[in-house]
Amino acid sequence: MHGKGLESWGAFEPFHIMLNDYRVADIVITSHAQSRYLDRVSQGEGNGTSGEIGAWLWQCLKQNRIKPYLQSKYNAFLIDEDTVVIAEFKQLEGVTSLSGRPLHIMVIISFLGRISATPQLRDLQTYYSRLRNSRRMKLMKKRRKRR
């Protein structure tokens, strides 16, 4: 994804965008995140290829539309104050900025959805505990049926 759709930025400085303490130089979208994007965010707009999603995220980064969400423990970010994204950052090996600082790859793990469509996303800690509890209850019911 790095450098796609961009004009020549110059041969001397690697291109990166700051997000929190990370210098994001590339975006990678997992297959899980791509399927979640199609289910929860796109709502039939486009075909949702990883290239389209990556280009959209890169534009959001450049326009400073991605902000950290309240709970930093989940590496959650808000796009346009509505879409919740879970991301992980990995350091690029052997590539640094001109100042010598390491560059990072932003790995999009999942799209949780839009806050306007799912108000439960306002508090991620209770959202995750509900998910965990519902999964536990489903497993307990399956165990009861087997006995």
Query: Domain extents for the chain?
Result: 17-116
Q: Which residues of the chain have pLDDT under 50?
A: 3, 5-10, 12-13
What's the CATH class of domain 17-116?
Answer: alpha beta
Kindly write down the DSSP assignment for every residue of 7-59, as one continuous string.
----SSS---EEETTEEEEEEEE-HHHHHHIIIIIITTSS---HHHHHHHHHH
- Tell me the whole-structure pTM to 2 decimals: 0.72
Q: What does the pLDDT look like over 8-50, one tens digit per residue?
A: 444 544 578 888 888 898 899 999 999 888 888 877 666 778 8
Give me the pLDDT at residue 119, please. Answer: 74
